[in-house]
Structure 1
């Protein structure tokens, strides 16, 4: 385990900017293993040592993995001047550290993973890994078996890009149709553009799954929780599969 500067560790745990953290230390409020910390640059091993601020021990976590049920109207970004972002929904100690793994459109709901684990994020998003994403959608128009067959062959989008084969399942077909669709890419507005290629409009879109990770149906819109060890292990095993 590596040693890190105390002020950096505290700042990364959301206890203030580096300047603010140095003030806490100057005010004699920080201890390490029961001893007063006087040097912001002292090196600590946060996984092994007990760090306290004003007598309250800090729980250090190097890696954070959060499942969010993203609501409509929130953008998949870490900052924005005009809209609420997904990290705005998280506690302060997580918000400044994590990033969304991939993006959901502002009007798309559902499963979004946020983490500070860049390696896992890269693996899940790598086109070579072909990590599949499953969505539920309501479609303005009748979805038929002809569409199912077309999706299974790949769909030509408005920019002439041909998608990888996708699995389309019809739940209900009518003037308004309900479907599940599973894709292995993350092109801009991909699901909407795939249906638009057939003159159909996506009215509502919700992501249900990413690889092995299923949206916890007990999470209300805007709610979040940390991944379980089992979920994380399955996600890592899936993303570590050999390149196709």
Structure 2
């Protein structure tokens, strides 16, 4: 009986310890694992971003320090509540405990690595896995105005199309319009997005695309404002006739360069009578203040009394060249019209009318200057 009483007294003495023993053990366990110094007060804003709260310090520490942690990182069941605002009391480190913020240099390094990863050069896959380069030849020809795709396929079947000097014998050939040279019947096809126009310039129109003085100029006749056009050479303000407009810089440069000798033909109205050797004199050369000027061809087109209409062809492009030559020879010009520029003739195009050159005409121009 004494032993039972002693046991009951011992159990009574042990009950308080049992109630608080888990907490004391938790404090001990928490103290060993929580050697990291606490930060007083609320964390700074840059630290809150990395605050994991009870996710890292609470349940993990509480599970090891006490019998069983509560749902919020508290002490053992039935024991004193653990945790708190200040630090780890009981079985967990508490929600107020924060993990130190990562240094900003470390964040900068991470960002640099991410940028480097996403800014790597794109890997060029083989043609079998990617899109094929270039466009189908019949599509390029159709876009250049050579007819429908079916008509362009017939041109290829008839062996009339050549690419880079080789005649095409099969359908489906892919070409690069920016690099490959495409010809039909020996004439180059303008496969790029180039524009070519011929304008019959009236008298009184200035040979510029814009005029600061507000006079009528070539730009007033161009309806396509999306692409910048420029004129090939010039015509005197009082001279009528054909003038070319394009956005093909290399072609325009070659057409006006003396090296290629592109001929221009003019009709001039003068007063006679004319000596028989006038043509010979013009071909041999007329001395002008800036050097000799020579005509390539000369002929009388029409003669009514003293009124003569003569045709002069030359490849020079000096200012007022035809007017100065005839005036120096003793025959001032009453009216001057340019009827052709290289292979492009004015024909029956009315004054002030603008027309787009055909692909055949563009090919003739390119062949004229070896393009």
TM score, norm. by length of structure 2: 0.46
1:160 Cα offset (Å): 4.9
Cα distance in 1 between the residues matched to 2:267 and 2:278: 16
Structure 2 residue ranges without an equivalent (≥5): 1-132, 134-177, 179-191
Alignment of 1:141-220 (within 5 A): 141-157=272-288, 159-173=289-303, 174-217=305-348, 219-220=349-350
Q: Which of 211, 218, 229 does residue 86 from structure 1 map onto?
A: 218
Q: What count of residue pairs does the alignment treat as equivalent? A: 181
In structure 2, the residue matched to 1:226 is: 356
8 Å contact 1:153–1:166 — kept in the other structure? no
8 Å contact 2:202–2:352 — kept in the other structure? yes
Cα distance in 2 between the residues matched to 1:129 and 1:171: 27
Cα distance in 2 between the residues matched to 1:239 and 1:171: 29
1:140 Cα offset (Å): 2.7
- SS of the aligned residue for 1:145 comes to coil
TM-align CA RMSD: 2.1
Deviations 1:189-232 (A, max 9, x none): 00000001122111111111111111131x21110111000000
Query: Structure 1 pair 160/63, CA: closer, same or farther in 2 (3 Å)?
Result: closer
Deviates more, 1:144-153 or 1:113-122: 144-153
Task: Judging by fraction of residues, say which structure has more helix.
Answer: 2
TM score, norm. by length of structure 1: 0.69
Runs of 4+ with >6 A deviation: none
In structure 1, the residue matched to 2:251 is: 120
Alignment of 1:33-44 (within 5 A): none
Higher relative contact order (CA 8 A, sep 6+): 1
Alignment of 1:4-153 (within 5 A): 62-82=193-213, 83-93=215-225, 97-153=228-284
- Higher alpha-carbon Rg: 2
Cα distance in 2 between the residues matched to 1:191 and 1:142: 19
Structure 1 residue ranges without an equivalent (≥5): 2-46, 48-60
8 Å contact 2:286–2:329 — kept in the other structure? no
In structure 2, the residue matched to 1:240 is: 370
Cα distance in 1 between the residues matched to 2:203 and 2:365: 25
Deviations 1:78-99 (A, max 9, x none): 11123111121110426x6111
8 Å contact 2:295–2:313 — kept in the other structure? no
Cα distance in 2 between the residues matched to 1:190 and 1:99: 22
Cα distance in 2 between the residues matched to 1:142 and 1:181: 17
- SS of the aligned residue for 1:195 comes to helix
Cα distance in 1 between the residues matched to 2:196 and 2:283: 33
Cα distance in 1 between the residues matched to 2:197 and 2:302: 32
1:233 Cα offset (Å): 0.3
Task: Judging by fraction of residues, say which structure has more strand.
Answer: 1
Deviations 1:31-89 (A, max 9, x none): xxxxxxxxxxxxxxxx9xxxxxxxxxxxxx73110010110110111111231111211
